[in-house]
């Protein structure tokens, strides 16, 4: 859990070690565009949320809600985070999203295979298997499976929180065939 000034988004919970994420410039531009003062970054997870606060902007890159599989639990988690927002604050979630064409592949017997080359030259291989209801089992390099739930445009937790859906941090329209879902959840007013 990180709290920072609008100009700095850290990847470390230790404020003495503030390494910038690869996408930090995009998140920083969002904070500057919104002219916010107090920013909370929950991209590392929901454990250890502060007990109180009035943040102008709470950013959730890397979808800390992906491991919450049930509608009610996800709705409760968003409500808990919204409770930390200032009156006109925003919670911005970079949601785990699987477009229909990739869901179809993940539903096949071999699953959806994603590979990326790491800095050390090795290759990380993920196999995504669709389980239904927007849930997936992910195996990385043959490791034990992790179960996640992807967001979808009709998500109960988003509808109940009054969120609007965008295709990027620049608030472009959401494209269901695209690869990005940004949920912008307003604070309590």
Per-residue pLDDT tens for 102-135? 999 999 999 999 998 989 999 999 999 999 999 9
In this structure, the answer to whether residues 42 and 22 fall within a common structural domain is yes
For the cut 50, the answer to whether the pLDDT of residue 20 exceeds it is no
Confidence band, pLDDT 50/70/90 cuts, at residue 92: very high
CB-based burial label for 53 (10 Å; 0-12, 13-18, 19+) = middle
Paired residues of 148 in beta bridges? 136
Region 140-152: mean pLDDT is 93
Same domain, 13 and 76: yes
CATH number of the structural domain spanning residue 175: 3.40.50.150
Range of 142's domain?
100-148
Based on the fold, state whether residues 118 and 177 are members of the same structural domain: no
Give yes or no: residues 116 and 182 share one domain. Answer: no
Q: DSSP 3-state assignment of 130? A: strand
Task: Give the chain's end-to-end CA distance (angstroms, integer).
Answer: 25
Q: Using the predicted structure, report yes or no on whether residue 142 has a pLDDT greater than 90.
A: no
**Mean pLDDT value of segment 43-51:** 91
91 lies in the same domain as 176: yes
Indicate the number of domains in the chain: 2
Are 88 and 8 in a shared domain?
yes
pLDDT confidence of 17, banded at 50, 70, 90?
Answer: very low
Whether residues 70 and 82 share a domain: the answer is yes
Distances (CA, A) of 50 to 7, 13, 21: 20, 13, 22
């Amino acid at each position: 859990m990180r709290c920072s000034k609008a100009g700095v988004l850290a990847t470390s919970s230790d404020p003495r070690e503030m390494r910038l994420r690869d996408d930090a410039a995009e998140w920083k531009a969002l904070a500057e565009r919104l002219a916010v003062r107090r920013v909370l970054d929950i991209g590392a997870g929901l454990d250890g949320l502060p007990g109180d606060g009035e943040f102008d902007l709470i950013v959730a890159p890397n979808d800390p809600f992906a491991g919450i599989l049930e509608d009610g639990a996800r709705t409760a988690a968003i409500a808990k985070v919204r409770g930390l927002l200032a009156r006109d604050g925003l919670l911005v979630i970079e949601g785990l999203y699987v477009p229909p064409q990739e869901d179809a592949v993940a539903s096949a017997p071999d699953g959806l295979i994603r590979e990326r080359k790491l800095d050390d030259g090795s290759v990380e291989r993920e196999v995504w298997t669709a389980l239904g209801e927007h849930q997936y089992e992910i195996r990385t390099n043959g490791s034990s499976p992790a179960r996640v739930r992807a967001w979808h445009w009709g998500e109960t937790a988003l509808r109940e929180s009054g969120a609007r859906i965008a295709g990027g941090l620049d608030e472009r329209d959401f494209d269901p065939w695209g690869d990005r879902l940004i949920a912008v959840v307003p604070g309590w007013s």
